[in-house]
Amino acid sequence: MTALDKMKEFVTNFAKSPETLKEVKSTTNIVAWLDGFKLERVPNEALDELMQLVEIAEDKNKIALIDLIRLLLCHEANAAYILHKHWQTIEISIFGYI
């Protein structure tokens, strides 16, 4: 199992956990994307759900999600959407955490 496979499994488990589902609107899109897991282009709806997960995550879950976002920012389309729409979340939930 590669490091990416482990990350995918970890994030999927967090997104599907009952505690997580109580705190976010939906994780349907992020879970569907994680099933195929192509970093080059992520649907905007999945990115929105990912950022909601970052807002509520703590400890190991937050670190895994931050690492996933770091990988997604290497691809222009993902980076443009995340940085434009979710800058405040990055500033508060990621920079503030680090």
pLDDT tens sequence across 32-76: 999 988 999 899 999 999 999 999 999 999 999 999 999 999 999
In total, how many domains does the chain have?
1
Global pTM value: 0.91
For residues 25 and 30, give the distance between their C-alpha atoms in angstroms, rounded to a whole number: 12
- For helices 44-56 and 3-16, what crossing angle results, to 10°? 80
For residues 38 and 87, give the distance between their C-alpha atoms in angstroms, rounded to a whole number: 23
Domain with 11 in it: 3-95
pLDDT at 96 over 90: no
Residue recorded with tokens 């443009």:
80
The DSSP code for 25 is: S
For residues 40 and 61, give the distance between their C-alpha atoms in angstroms, rounded to a whole number: 22
Average pLDDT, the chain: 92
Lowest mean pLDDT: which of 8-17, 27-36, 83-92? 83-92
Q: How many CB atoms lie within 10 A of CB 87?
A: 10
